[in-house]
Structure 1
Amino acid sequence: MDRMRIVVIFVIALIHLSNGEFQRFQHPTKADGSLQVLVVGDWGRKGDYNQAQLANQMGITTEKMDIDFVISTGDNFYEDGLTDENDAAFHKSFTDIYTAPSLQKMWYNVLGNHDYRGDALAQLGRILKARDSRWFCMKSFILDAEIVEFFFIDTTPFQDKYFTDPENHVYDWRGVLPREKYLSTLVKNLESGLKESKAKWKIVIGHHTIKSASEHGNTQELVDKVLPILEANGVDLYINGHDHCLQQIASSKSALQFLTSGGGSKAWRGVYNWTNLNEMKFFYDGQGFMTLHITPHQIDVKFYDISGNILHKWSISPQSSIVSNL
């Protein structure tokens, strides 16, 4: 499927947006059936807090591997999202920053809590897509890449504190209210989509952590409402941002792994809180990004720092998983 086809499908899907619904999109694999994916989160600071330097390194690293697309785990624009579709922050934080030829691929984005503080619908609209054809953002959707299905879910509405204790922030809940109905539909569609999936690999993407050793820690609402669905339906990876770090935590109940790639700009929070050493496979409280090399037989995960050094790598196959620390 070429880029023009993806754009057409995206525009059609916008017409059908409704509470908690999932639209399905397709992205082709390479000729050998594999995928190379870059994952970065919590980045949009107009180049500040080393965002520009990290973007440069992302370009250098991905030039060597020919990525197929980029996944953004949310908090795309700080501190308070976009003011509207004409906000110059879109160019200053995205188009003018990720300029490397190797990064001129589709960017599949979810919204983070900071994105909801602005005009959240602006990020979902046609105008930004017209200004930069790489931009693809929806609240929840399925990306079918043949050997793997990515389930992007809208995690911000799950967390109670944004509704009960907004900390003087205003959130754009258009399309979310009534909240109970929205979340019920989202959870139902996630569960049915996972059950129906015939893909070799199933990966769920959300902004908020399910498990994390950093500042935000575990998100209890996701632990209660989403985690059981992931474990019951053979999900291989849950990938998030929100905490500004890089980490891998293993589940004690299933083969599910929790991967955080939230080091796209401001990081170094200085918080670590985890006691189960068997679950904690890797933690780095700094800036960086992650790559996934996906084949029918294996997923290879690598975490990089701002200088392009590989900090940690790990592989999973249907039969076994191997963890390697560098």
Structure 2
Amino acid sequence: MFPKHYNILIIFLLIIENNYLYGKIISDKFPRFEHPAKSDGSLSIMVVGDWGRRGHYNQSDVAHQMGIIGEKMDLDFIISTGDNFYPEGLINVNDPAFDESFTNVYTASSLQKQWYSVLGNHDYRGDALAQLSPLLNQKDSKWFCLKSYILDAEIAEFFFIDTTPFQDKYFTNPGDEVYDWRGVLPRDKYLSTLLKDLDSALVKSSAKWKIVVGHHTIRSAGIHGNTQELVQKLLPILQANNVDLYINGHDHCLEHISSADSPLQFLTSGGGSKSWRGSYNWPNPKNEMLFYYDGQGFMTMKITQTDVEINFYDILGHVMHQWSASKSLIYAT
């Protein structure tokens, strides 16, 4: 009787109406949503970032391979790591870039799943609130975007966080760029609230796998490198709460970095369109850099109660890097 994602849409509408569109800060908790796992308890997920270029810069070619791999995987949902619409986000909710960069590009039947998205720095250069509007969900039901929220997928919890306001340079040296900071100012309060609520949610989480998703890098060998503000303010919270994976975009590459001092893995999937920047700078221990590819592609995850498997694919659909980890069921709660 109701659309497939009716419950998500209704909650989405209420949150938008009561909080986000009017620039208010939710100061107690992140909004929480649920997405069921498969009947066997597993999850199949695809991750892509930095993609929205109206099909250009090989975006359509990446989307084609995503559709092929997605069909084989029987996807549950897709994660977008931000910079959803270039070069300056959306003008408003009626911006044709939404159809031209999203609906008309990701047309494969396997990709008609819920997309869970965060905002990137380019998204903040337009009408940032437009991407949060339920009107876009009405145009294309697979679209879902909020600044920060929690997705409870049974065996895993995904903590989506708004990383753009952390970077000082967007405030102190924006150049000719204009950012839409509605709902962010005063900045100090916004960031302290976000960090407090994230820490509280992670402490309370009993999920087998804790995964944090943001746009900006924490650690990277790409052109943007490490985001020092996140290293200082966010990383300690992730490590203290035994987060398994931090997933991001921003650097237009595919990348996997391990931690020398914790199980935390840093995964960059920012190869959804324009890439090939020819940058690589990794002065840290070489054994931490498990994979780096300065090209286009995407990432997949298969998650069960005991295992997680990561695959990185190039624009031809070839597996370029694979990694897996296991946990004993004794730790499940």
Q: TM-score, normalised by structure 2?
A: 0.94
Matched, 1:317 2:317: no
CA distance in structure 1 between the aligned counterparts of 2:147 and 2:66, rounded to whole angstroms: 25
Instruction: Report matched runs for 1:100-119 at 5 Å.
Output: 100-119=108-127
CA distance in structure 2 between the aligned counterparts of 1:148 and 1:127, rounded to whole angstroms: 29
Structure 1 match to 2:139? 131
The residue type equivalent to 1:42 in the other structure is: D
CA distance in structure 2 between the aligned counterparts of 1:245 and 1:36, rounded to whole angstroms: 22
Q: Which moved more, 1:173-182 or 1:269-278?
A: 269-278
> Which of residues 256, 268, 274 in structure 2 aligns to 1:266?
274
CA distance in structure 2 between the aligned counterparts of 1:222 and 1:71, rounded to whole angstroms: 20
Structure 1 match to 2:10? 8
Residues 138-185 of structure 1: per-residue CA shift (max 9 Å, x gap): 000000001000000000000000000002100000000000000010
The residue type equivalent to 2:321 in the other structure is: H
The residue type equivalent to 2:25 in the other structure is: N
The residue type equivalent to 2:103 in the other structure is: T
CA distance in structure 2 between the aligned counterparts of 1:265 and 1:111, rounded to whole angstroms: 16
Instruction: Report matched runs for 1:36-55 at 5 Å.
Output: 36-55=44-63
> Which of residues 20, 25, 35 in structure 2 aligns to 1:19?
25
The residue type equivalent to 2:100 in the other structure is: K
Structure 1 match to 2:302? 293
Structure 2 match to 1:59? 67
The residue type equivalent to 1:109 in the other structure is: S
Structure 1 match to 2:249? 241
Structure 1 match to 2:159? 151
CA distance in structure 2 between the aligned counterparts of 1:141 and 1:244, rounded to whole angstroms: 24
Residues 17-60 of structure 1: per-residue CA shift (max 9 Å, x gap): 23265100000000000000000000000000000111011001
Structure 2 match to 1:174? 182
Residues 134 and 14 of structure 1, relative CA distance in 2, 3 Å threshold: same
Unaligned runs of 5+ in 2: 329-333
Q: Is the 8 Å Cα contact of residues 9 and 134 (structure 2) preserved in structure 1?
A: no
- Secondary structure, aligned partner of 2:287: coil
The CA deviation at 1:126 is 1.4
Structure 2 match to 1:282? 291
The residue type equivalent to 1:19 in the other structure is: I
> Which of residues 83, 96, 99 in structure 2 aligns to 1:91?
99
Residues 80-100 of structure 1: per-residue CA shift (max 9 Å, x gap): 000111100000000000000
- Secondary structure, aligned partner of 2:305: coil
CA distance in structure 2 between the aligned counterparts of 1:128 and 1:15, rounded to whole angstroms: 14
Q: Which moved more, 1:129-138 or 1:310-319?
A: 310-319
CA distance in structure 1 between the aligned counterparts of 2:167 and 2:98, rounded to whole angstroms: 26
Residues 281 and 243 of structure 1, relative CA distance in 2, 3 Å threshold: same
Q: Is the 8 Å Cα contact of residues 235 and 256 (structure 1) preserved in structure 2?
A: yes
- Secondary structure, aligned partner of 1:58: helix
Unaligned runs of 5+ in 1: 320-326
Q: Is the 8 Å Cα contact of residues 55 and 105 (structure 2) preserved in structure 1?
A: yes
The CA deviation at 1:2 is 4.4
Residues 50-77 of structure 1: per-residue CA shift (max 9 Å, x gap): 0011101100111111100000000000
- Secondary structure, aligned partner of 1:278: helix
CA distance in structure 1 between the aligned counterparts of 2:104 and 2:184, rounded to whole angstroms: 31
Q: Is the 8 Å Cα contact of residues 109 and 136 (structure 1) preserved in structure 2?
A: yes
Q: Is the 8 Å Cα contact of residues 20 and 140 (structure 1) preserved in structure 2?
A: no
- Secondary structure, aligned partner of 1:67: coil
- Secondary structure, aligned partner of 1:175: coil
Q: Is the 8 Å Cα contact of residues 20 and 183 (structure 1) preserved in structure 2?
A: no
Q: TM-score, normalised by structure 1?
A: 0.96
Residues 188-213 of structure 1: per-residue CA shift (max 9 Å, x gap): 00000000000000000000000000
- Secondary structure, aligned partner of 1:163: helix
CA distance in structure 2 between the aligned counterparts of 1:113 and 1:298, rounded to whole angstroms: 33
The CA deviation at 1:8 is 1.5
Structure 2 match to 1:323? none
CA distance in structure 2 between the aligned counterparts of 1:296 and 1:9, rounded to whole angstroms: 28
The CA deviation at 1:16 is 3.6
